[in-house]
Structure 1
């Protein structure tokens, strides 16, 4: 199944059309997009979807789409989880996952503007994002998919100045400014794709291809990440895992190339869809150290 946040309401999507889940179920199912994590395997929703004709549903409009998981509890992000990204950074392939956090207020929609204020070292990172659908702790890798409600597309927008400046590298802070976490445009259940560990993903800036890879280039696949993370923390319904970005980030170009006012990031994950977010300079972003 495929879900979307349409004007703040949970909708089921099929063939470019969307139906309001609460309205279609006469109020039996919730309208809150956060509830799609619980609803993904709900037998009532599956029966409802099977009985409906998508031709009767209204067309899905991009302008109405918000983040499919608008209020995540935790956002866990992975660094250096693609071989190509580790190699371009001149770093050894890690022997275990490198974990950081993004704060939940960074989340924005798939077509929202991303304000950067006066920042001049902002970068893009296309990522596959996993949404947790069941509370879990100490899950075995082979059981991981039982706890995943959906997959979506993410862009781990990052302020490289804040991320790398001395005396302390602020990875989490640099990735958590408002709107530095676009996700969407829809969320799919894992059974919608043949193998979530082998999906194409890409990022373009103003139409220029910057990143292109497959999730088969993961150093640690989704099963492993779920098992490893749940050894340390309890994963709860609505948590998100940004699974890492492939090579091709602007910071590793020669010379380094960062995002500028008016540029459009186009981020795509196979089977999920494409996000388009415009960079907007001026007010409204985290100011970074020594500014503001």
Structure 2
């Protein structure tokens, strides 16, 4: 199954992509989840959402949905927290001139950074070093705090998605830089296209890739993560309450502009990110409108 949200920003409807329920073939089709839930959010995930969808599919209780022409939104409704992990691939730490961390590097991103996987990505008006970061994203499936073990943390993962942590390096690492400054631009976390349930995904060795204007950039595997998804959930839960529907970005591998091997992004550039089994996303960098207040996503 692949959970997704379809429609204009703020009015998305929940859906699932799954093999046909009539048993005649394995063709993947879209079905509405409105008979089960108003949205793919923390409440849905925490109350056995995936199991209820499987049962409804098997019983033929979900109406077919034609997704043609519908925008694909982020696969989970706006989370309460977006937690990100830095330097979680040794090769990326090396290209950033940093040591491989012995404990996870944790920072927060505003929830206003979450965007759909094909939405235009605003290029910050004052940016000079805007960078891409292909990442595996964790979606939390139940509230979690002070988890006792890594095994217990694994049980709190609802599923996984593809993400891009667009980053302004001057704001992050310049003379007056801070990680939060460089990671907070609206729309700078394209997420999706799908959320795949944790029991249908093995995050241990997934290929992670990115392209800029069609040219390959990153190409790595989650087997190279310093800290695994379950280890990250366990660690973060020691310091904050993780709530169902929260998103954790697990870090990016080598191959970003910060390495000095590639130019930074500019308005008009196209960035594509793919995580094996979790889909491919594509965003075009557009000039940010200054002084305009946008509505909630």
Q: TM (normalized to structure 1)? A: 0.88
CA distance in 2, matches of 1:187, 1:204: 21
* CA RMSD, Structure 1 to Structure 2 (Å): 2.1
Kindly indicate whether residue 154 of structure 2 is the aligned counterpart of residue 150 of structure 1.
no
Equivalent position to 1:173, from 177, 181, 197 = 181
What is aligned with 1:114? 121
Gaps of 5+ in 1: 287-292
Q: 1:282 to 1:147 in 2, by over 3 A?
A: closer
Equivalent pairs counted in the alignment come to 277
What is aligned with 1:227? 234
Kindly indicate whether residue 21 of structure 2 is the aligned counterpart of residue 12 of structure 1.
no
What is aligned with 1:46? 54
Kindly indicate whether residue 268 of structure 2 is the aligned counterpart of residue 262 of structure 1.
yes
CA distance in 2, matches of 1:63, 1:257: 33
Q: Post-superposition shift, 1:46?
A: 2.1
Q: Quick check: 1:75–1:101 contact (8 Å CA) kept in 2?
A: yes
Kindly indicate whether residue 225 of structure 2 is the aligned counterpart of residue 218 of structure 1.
yes
CA distance in 2, matches of 1:272, 1:71: 19
Q: Post-superposition shift, 1:224?
A: 1.0
Q: Quick check: 2:95–2:258 contact (8 Å CA) kept in 1?
A: no
Q: Quick check: 1:40–1:149 contact (8 Å CA) kept in 2?
A: no
Q: Quick check: 1:67–1:184 contact (8 Å CA) kept in 2?
A: yes
What is aligned with 2:24? none
Q: Post-superposition shift, 1:60?
A: 3.4
Gaps of 5+ in 2: 19-26, 293-297
1:186-242 superposed Cα distances (whole Å, 9 cap, x missing partner): 10001222x212111101011111001000100011111111111111111111100
Q: 1:164 to 1:42 in 2, by over 3 A?
A: closer
Equivalent position to 1:162, from 162, 171, 183 = 171
What is aligned with 1:135? 143
Kindly indicate whether residue 204 of structure 2 is the aligned counterpart of residue 200 of structure 1.
no
1:101-129 superposed Cα distances (whole Å, 9 cap, x missing partner): 11101111000001113523110000001
Greater Cα shift, 231-240 or 10-19: 10-19
Q: Post-superposition shift, 1:51?
A: 2.3
